[in-house]
Chain A
């Protein structure tokens, strides 16, 4: 099942997942925050994967800049059973990163092909906007209680 923080991502990403037949797909910000994901079961695991993906992407971009004069924008790692593809997408809302894992149900060629299509679709997708911040009324007591519970103080 796919979950997305922002609705404009849903349709293009779902199309990519169906067409490319990848097992895992995560769209994230360059700061490492998850925007949408398919394939992970625990949200907290997605966060770790995204933190690492953002780091790999930033490092690769910098190596590219230093060695080649332009940042590396995609990376592919072929494992024994599963492969990883990481690529930067220029959406209408800044640069985002796609992390995807796939097996022999598809190929790197197809993944690249549909990745390019995803990039076009996301660039054309309009972001919904929200003008109101979340209403966090009297959140201090919830925060104190939850943190105290986490730290075993109650």
Chain B
């Protein structure tokens, strides 16, 4: 749940980029990192293998600026997508305020996408969270690849987007859809925070 410090008028939200291995989760964060001025972001922490596969998580803290008078910070995480890192995914998903599901648009990856979406819902349920209440945005990444290799957005949406959540076509390496995805999930998270049940206490200095 989002942390809100009423005294300092600060909001901190945790957003997790989820999805199958090599779908482009880390690429999303890299693009954000490279676009945002240094004074508005922290260091990008990547716990990766020697071949740059995410081992534990990537982490990027972002200072979003002032929203309705609250200094708002986002903590962007990715999870490792490979099937055998299930425990790590659960840990990183803990306390998420919003989830971006990064799907791989390649036709041959559709089963991995479906499995990963099921895995997301199972992990949320295991943590006692009703997945229907968690802000979720889907990004159909790699839409820049040749048409014969990928499924188009409407096909993917029919299969993966059974909740009818916002979605965006993406090419995370070049930044297409990255901004829009982050904007969508931020909006959902803030809307839920503003209109939903009380957040964690926030009465510090």
Contacts and interface: CB of A to CB of B under 8 A. Distances in A.
Interface string A99-131: 000000000000000000000000000011111
Nearest to B204: A4
B41 interface: yes
Nearest to B35: A151
B198 A132 contact: yes
A111 B200 CA distance: 29
B94 A6 contact: no
Q: Give the residue among B4, B35, B61 with the most A Cβ atoms within 10 A.
A: B61
Contact of B190 (A4, A42, A136): A136
B194 A147 contact: no
B172 interface: no
A148 to B, nearest CB: 8
A128 B78 CA distance: 32
Interface stretch (A45-53, A67-75, A81-89): A45-53
B45 A48 contact: yes
Contacts of A153: 179
Given A151-B36, A152-B35, A134 B11 contact: yes
Chain A residues touching B, range: 35 or more
Given A133-B194, A133-B196, A6 B36 contact: no
B199 A150 contact: no
Nearest to B11: A134
A90 interface: no
Contact of B41 (A44, A140, A152): A44
Contacts of A134: 4, 6, 11, 68, 70, 193-194, 199
B173 interface: no
- Listed from nearest, the 7 A-B pairs whose CB atoms lie closest are A31-B95, A4-B204, A44-B42, A146-B65, A136-B194, A47-B61, A136-B68
Interface of B: 3-6, 8, 10-12, 14, 35-37, 40-43, 45, 47, 56-57, 59, 61-68, 70, 72-73, 75, 77, 87, 91, 94-96, 179, 182-183, 186-187, 190-191, 193-205
